[in-house]
Amino acid sequence: MTKAAIKDVNASLGQHAKHYTEQDMSDNALNIQCGTLYLDIRIKRAGNDIKAGVNGYGTGNGYVDNILTCEACLKKATGGINCLIQIHP
């Protein structure tokens, strides 16, 4: 999580909510919490367009296609690792 992303998340939280710090990002659970909130912000800004929101998350062009391909595979497959191998050979 970048400083700007953390600031963005904190700005979206209520005044009395716990705000995140850069140091929090070294804690896996807090990093995931903050990252999830940031992803939600990005998707909402993109008009709830998941693909546009994830691309804005900073994954780089095209990476969202891999994520969505993996999601579709996981929904129908029995072996999760096979879905991951498709996008990370």
Please state the rounded mean pLDDT for residues 73-89.
Answer: 75
Q: What is the pLDDT of residue 59?
A: 67
User: Is the pLDDT confidence value at 79 over 70?
Assistant: no
User: Is the pLDDT confidence value at 69 over 90?
Assistant: no
Q: Report pTM.
A: 0.74
Tens of pLDDT, residue by residue over 12-44, are 998 888 899 999 999 999 999 999 999 999 999
Task: Please say whether the beta carbons of 45 and 9 come within 8 A.
Answer: no
Among 13, 14, 31, 11, which residue's Cα sits nearest to residue 22?
31
Tens of pLDDT, residue by residue over 42-58, are 999 999 998 888 887 76
User: How far apart (Å, rounded) are the C-alpha atoms in residues 86 and 68?
Assistant: 12
Helices of type H across the chain: 3-12, 28-45, 50-54, 63-76, 80-87
* Backbone angles phi and psi of 82, in degrees to 5: -65, -35
Per-domain residue ranges of the chain = 1-45
Tokens 């209520």 label which residue?
Answer: 14
